[in-house]
Chains A and B, each alone.
Chain A
């Protein structure tokens, strides 16, 4: 990798492809920046929320008056106090006509439906006073039965989360003749996998600062979606959209958890409106574990029909998706983002998908890194390994027999997605070589032979995913409430410097660096001369924000197109000043030159000339700037081959990752360092699902994993050194050839790790270990097999 980076740098000049260190990192790493919690405003008050200790209960009495007597307390409110103005938190993705979308008050009024739901708040002069006074708020609850298990929840007679019942929707998709495919199929694999509930753990907790100045409101929030948030908050609170400014200052991670319109954002706006003073709320880590929207939590029933040689006929998926207690911004749409990915990279004749969204008395789920695609990839990659085991063929060979060959692109899958490009052969070949596949298989055979208590397992994940969310017309066809376009403004200042305004909203991805590289190359200006502005609806008027690996593949293209417009304008001005025909003016490395003569002007000179406006072509408006909005025609499809070797200690059940190789194809690369960072972090997060993370509720619906001592996140010490490499098969659907890399590692790595663990334990009769594959779970799985065979 390092060699590759050096090689590219040696090419000189070209910014795109250069492994630049990120220009935003100095301020992000030192924290000397506008994290929301760093914001101090005159007269600012602090909010603390009292949260329900009950999973399900009727609220029979709230008395917040005791809190008012506490030192430093300015006000205290119950849900009933705010009921007239708080509205309902929005769900923008009604996936079916008959979907049940329950009313979702930001603060509970009559009933609580999960532990952690806000039931009252205290506003005080500082955070400590607010937190201290919470204990003086009196609330009486009348307990109701919790609803915790999806299968039980759908049974007749189950206690109800909402009056309308526990089913939110059933969504179906089918292509091909599924019955014919399964009829007389020589091989049928039938498995059920559990996608455990996860808690997104961004480094920066959520934080909100709301302020008002008469009828004008400003909300600072640690959010991924300032633009969408502004629209939704205007609709929810009744504050007119033009009177509401939303700012996402520097944001320290999100992983989808900040793709949300939260109760706290709405309530802080209401409080500042009531009190006329700025208010701040910052969550604690434990408060976050309870109330940041959770991820995954699906029960996947997958059936696969195949020929006896392992060629796949069809896949059938029946999914239960835990919505939690309410539908939040895109809750019901998350499983649908996976619906089209269960065929993975494989060819088949039929596909059938059903998803039922189920209400439970738990924190609502919503987007979490990969959102639907990790679940789909996990199920298909796990079941391909099961197929290989069933027919006694190497799992890589089974994949080869089924995958779309390089020569077959573009290829329209059974899920009706057209994969524009890909080269699974190349990525796989490279990965196998780096991994030493054959040698590890030989060692595995030897350990099996010796009955080594430490067994070796090899896991494969030949994944693909869909990025670049999204073509607006596709989102429309899936009933999503908004489009998927992205916007950019590029303006050259009189001194020749460049400001880029992007509608994407970075929260750690390095947009300022990558966008600067793109603009520097396009306009022929120094990288240092480019500033990227983002995240403030007062400066960035249009945007669809950052999620779904869309920023570069959609937002980056908008930047390219805006630059193209700037250059075209500049070429006309240059031609005018050089007294030449625009057709005779060429642009290269920042300079416009009349073909065949030495006469030229730099783009900076043109910028100044358009500012002075003394001598412009007729009808030309002063200033050199342009806007572009890009709406993609299609998704992009990164892919790759991840290989994982694990050592499983059969005495203790402990898994140690011995080696991990990732060869990803994310198309063309703007900054290899950023791509590396995304791949490393992504793999770590996927491994975390495989081995460590799980949100656990007890039988009463209490969340047990409220601290990092209980909700385990791996650190560098728990992870191997990843070997990463890339193949580059450019996307054909955008001018940069980029595909997106934000989620690839997370999507790919979870099945690679679990496949490896199961592979290690196959001689013991094991064909699945439920995630996370904790030592205890592995040990119990082995023990139950021993008991069965005894």
Chain B
């Protein structure tokens, strides 16, 4: 990698990190696992004056059970998330989706918060965040604020994080019993980003779908909820009506065109994959 030159700063506490970030000014970037940022540096698409490496800030890392929600520290690696008993028990959809992120090498360095803060709609975690209504805990030199997932992703690679702010962690609400989950990812190679992904949580009772949450990966500049599907499946029998409901998956989406798929194909995939995800989630209620 031959990036443009930058200053490298490595704080050991969150306060120190915030101070360094403030002092470094608007051209500074936060570095965690580096798996989104470093490619941009390599391609010289980003020219940060300074990198604040939060990799050794202990308080940003780890998973905790906080009663009504699970707290995942921003620099917790994907691998740690996948193997966390707390995550597996209380938010299995997070574990399922995270397990599909890139490859083992990336999952051992890439971080949960870094991936979300990058706000790439092709990433696997943003769609899960909106499906589960996660909350983003954001620190700045002047204090702390909480941003709901529905307000965190503003545009392609653009989040609600202001200059000087650091994403400290994410609260994942516990959904409680009766829910089934599935993350359906369609990609061309194991390491490739999702062409389309569908994150689904379904609550079933007596053969009927009571409630569903459906998040779509790479179907627009930001991750979106397939609200048409959610509406259509409510109270539906867990059978053929799911296919019909899934037919609304691409409503209101604005899928991108790239080398791997044109928008009409992505729309088609969203419908097919949503159906498959609903079937899987409805078939395997957990908790």
Interface residue ranges, A against B (CB under 8 Å): 127-128, 131-132, 284, 286, 651-652, 654, 692, 696, 704-705, 707, 709-710, 712-715, 717-718, 774-776, 779-780
Closest to A717 in B: B190
How many angstroms between the C-alpha atoms of A128 and B261 in the bound complex?
A: 36
A residues less than 8 Å from B103 (CB atoms): 715, 717
7 cross-chain pairs, A with B, having the tightest CB-CB distances, nearest first? A717-B190, A131-B2, A776-B265, A718-B189, A651-B272, A712-B189, A776-B261
Contact B192 A709, beta carbon cutoff 8 Å = yes
Cβ contact within 8 Å between A128 and B5: yes
Chain A residues with CB below 8 A from B261, complex form:
776
In the complex, the answer to whether A718 meets B190 with C-beta atoms within 8 Å is yes
Of the listed residues A131, A652, A714, the one surrounded by the most CB atoms of chain B closer than 10 A to its CB is: A652
CB pair A780–B259 under 8 Å, yes or no, is no
Known: A651-B272, A717-B103. A779 touches B265 (CB 8 A): yes
Which residues of B are found within 8 Å of A707, using beta-carbon distances? 39, 43
| Residues of A with C-beta under 8 A to B189 | 692, 712-715, 717-718
Given contacts A131-B2, A704-B259, contact A779 B188 (CB under 8 A): no
B5 touches A774 (CB 8 A): no
Least distance between B7 CB and chain A CB atoms (Å)? 14
Interface residues, chain B, with chain A CB atoms under 8 Å away: 2, 4-5, 39, 42-43, 103, 186, 188-193, 195, 259-262, 265, 268-269, 272-273
Question: Are the CB atoms of B192 and A652 closer together than 8 Å?
Answer: no
Identify the closest chain B residue to A282 (Cβ): B2
Please determine whether A712 and B272 come into contact, CB atoms closer than 8 angstroms: no
- B43 & A286 in contact (Cβ 8 Å cutoff): yes
Interface of A is mostly: loop
A654, B259: Cβ atoms closer than 8 Å? no
Smallest Cβ distance from B144 to chain A, in angstroms? 35
A704–B258 Cα gap in the complex (Å)? 10
Question: Considering the chains assembled together, what is the distance between the CA atoms of A718 and B188 in angstroms?
Answer: 9
Verify A775–B259 contact, CB threshold 8 A: no
Contact of A776 among B4, B190, B260, B273 (CB under 8 A): B260
Please, how many angstroms separate the alpha-carbon atoms of A692 and B192 in the complex?
A: 11
Provide the bound-state CA to CA distance between A389 and B259, in Å. 32
B4 surroundings in chain A (CB, below 8 A) = 132
Q: Given A654-B186, A692-B189, A707-B43, is A779 in contact with B2 using a C-beta cutoff of 8 Å?
A: no
Taking A714-B189, A717-B189, A775-B195 as known contacts, 11 extra A-B pairs with beta carbons closer than 8 A to each other, sorted by chain A number, are A127-B2, A128-B5, A651-B272, A652-B273, A654-B186, A704-B259, A715-B191, A775-B186, A775-B188, A776-B261, A779-B265
Selected contact of B259 from candidates A131, A652, A696, A779, CB within 8 Å: A696
Report how far A132 CA is from B4 CA in the complex, Å.
6
Question: Chain B contacts of A131 at CB under 8 A?
Answer: 2
A132 touches B272 (CB 8 A): no
Question: In the complex, which residues of chain A have a beta carbon less than 8 angstroms from the beta carbon of B186?
Answer: 652, 654, 775
Complex CA–CA separation, A132 to B47 (angstroms): 11
Instruction: Determine how close the nearest CB of chain A comes to the CB of B279; give it in whole angstroms.
Output: 13
Q: Hey, which chain A residues are within 8 Å of B39, CB to CB? A: 707, 709
Also in contact, A774 and B188, with CB within 8 A (given A707-B43, A780-B265): yes
With a 10 A CB-CB cut-off, give which of B4, B43, B188 has the most chain A CB atoms.
B188
Question: Which one of B189, B191, B260 has the highest number of Cβ atoms from chain A below 10 Å of its Cβ?
Answer: B189
CA distance A776 to B261 in the complex (A): 6
Which chain A residues lie closer than 8 Å to B195 at the CB level?
775
User: Shortest distance in angstroms between A306's beta carbon and chain B's nearest beta carbon?
Assistant: 37
Pick the residue among B42, B259, B268 that contacts A710 (CB under 8 A).
B259
Chain B residues whose CB sits within 8 angstroms of the CB of A714 once the complex forms: 189
Give min CB distance, B195 to chain A, whole Å. 8
- Taking CB atoms, residues of chain A closer than 8 Å to B192 are 709, 712
Q: Chain B residues with Cβ under 8 A from A713's Cβ?
A: 189
Instruction: Report the nearest B residue to A716, measured CB to CB.
Output: B190
Question: How far does the alpha carbon of A775 sit from the alpha carbon of B193 in the complex, in Å?
Answer: 15
Kindly state the separation between the CA atoms of A715 and B42 in the bound complex, as whole angstroms.
22
With A286-B43, A774-B260, A776-B261 as given contacts, are A652 and B269 in contact (CB-CB < 8 Å)? yes
Report Cα–Cα, A386/B245, bound state, in Å.
41
Q: Give complex CA distance A278, B48 in Å.
A: 32
| Bound-state Cα–Cα, A705 to B186, Å | 20
Interchain residue pairs with CB less than 8 A apart (18): A128-B2, A128-B5, A132-B4, A652-B269, A704-B259, A705-B259, A709-B39, A713-B189, A714-B189, A715-B103, A715-B190, A717-B191, A718-B189, A774-B188, A774-B260, A776-B262, A776-B265, A779-B268
Once the chains are docked, how many angstroms separate the CA of A774 from the CA of B192? 13
**Minimal beta-carbon separation of B55 from chain A (angstroms):** 23
Whether B190 contacts A652 by the Cβ 8 Å rule is no
CA of A654 to CA of B268, assembled, Å: 13
> For B190, what are the chain A residues with a Cβ–Cβ distance below 8 Å?
715, 717-718
* B1 CB → nearest A CB, Å: 8
Name B268's closest neighbour in chain A (CB-CB).
A779
Q: Which residues of B contact A710 (CB under 8 A)?
A: 259
By a CB distance below 8 angstroms, the chain A residues around B5 are 128, 132
Greatest chain B CB density within 10 A among A127, A692, A710, A776 is at A776
Closest approach, in angstroms, between the C-beta of A622 and any C-beta of chain B? 54
Across the interface, which residues of A come within 8 angstroms of B268, CB to CB?
Answer: 779
Contacting pair A652 B188 (CB below 8 A):
no
- Min CB gap A406→B, angstroms: 41
The smallest beta-carbon distance between A646 and chain B, in angstroms, is 15
Smallest Cβ-Cβ distance to A777: which chain B residue: B265
Closest to B195 in A: A775
Which B residues are CB-close (under 8 A) to A780? 265
Q: For the complex, what is the distance from the CA of A365 to the CA of B259, rounded to whole Å? A: 22
CA distance A717 to B192 in the complex (A): 11
In the bound complex, how far is the Cα of B261 from the Cα of A780, in angstroms?
11
Q: How far is the CB of B68 from chain A (nearest CB, A)?
A: 37
A148 to B191, CA, bound (A): 31
Distance in Å from the Cβ of A289 to the closest Cβ of chain B? 12
- Say how far B262's CB is from chain A's closest CB, in angstroms: 7
Tell me the minimal C-beta distance from A164 to chain B in angstroms: 34
**B residues within 8 A CB of A651?**
272
Query: From A127, which residue of chain B is reached at the shortest CB distance?
Result: B2
Residues of chain B within 8 A (CB-CB) of A132 are 4-5
Interfacial chain B residues near A717, Cβ < 8 Å: 103, 189-191
Separation in Å of the B28 CB from the closest CB of chain A? 19
Chain B residues near A704: list those with CB within 8 A: 259
Q: How far is the CA of A710 from the CA of B43 in the complex (A)?
A: 14
Q: Are A712 and B43 in contact (CB under 8 A)?
A: no
CB A679 to nearest CB in B, in angstroms, measures 22
Q: How far is the CA of A128 from the CA of B2 in the complex (A)?
A: 6
For B193, the chain A residues whose CB sits under 8 A away are: 709
Complexed CA–CA distance, A774 and B189 (Å): 11
The CA of A713 and the CA of B259, in the complex, are separated in Å by: 14
Q: Which residue of the partner chain, among A286, A652, A715, contacts B272 with CB atoms under 8 Å?
A: A652
How close is B34's CB to chain A, nearest CB, in angstroms? Answer: 16
CB nearest neighbor in A for B193? A709
B188–A712 contact, CB under 8 A? yes
Most central of A696, A712, A713 by chain B CB within 10 Å: A712
Measured CB to CB, the closest approach of chain A to B100, in angstroms, equals: 11
Contacts of A286 in B (CB 8 A): 43
Determine how close the nearest CB of chain A comes to the CB of B13; give it in whole angstroms.
31
Cα separation A779 to B190 with both chains bound (whole Å): 20
Give CA–CA (A286, B2) in the complex, Å.
12
In the complex the two chains form, is A284's CB within 8 Å of B272's CB? no
Closest to A287 in B: B2
**Shortest CB–CB separation between residue A570 and chain B, in angstroms?**
53
Measured CB to CB, the closest approach of chain A to B36, in angstroms, equals 12
Within the complex, the shortest CB–CB distance from B177 to chain A, in Å, comes to 33
* Contact assessment for A692 and B188 in the assembled complex, using a CB-CB cutoff below 8 Å: yes
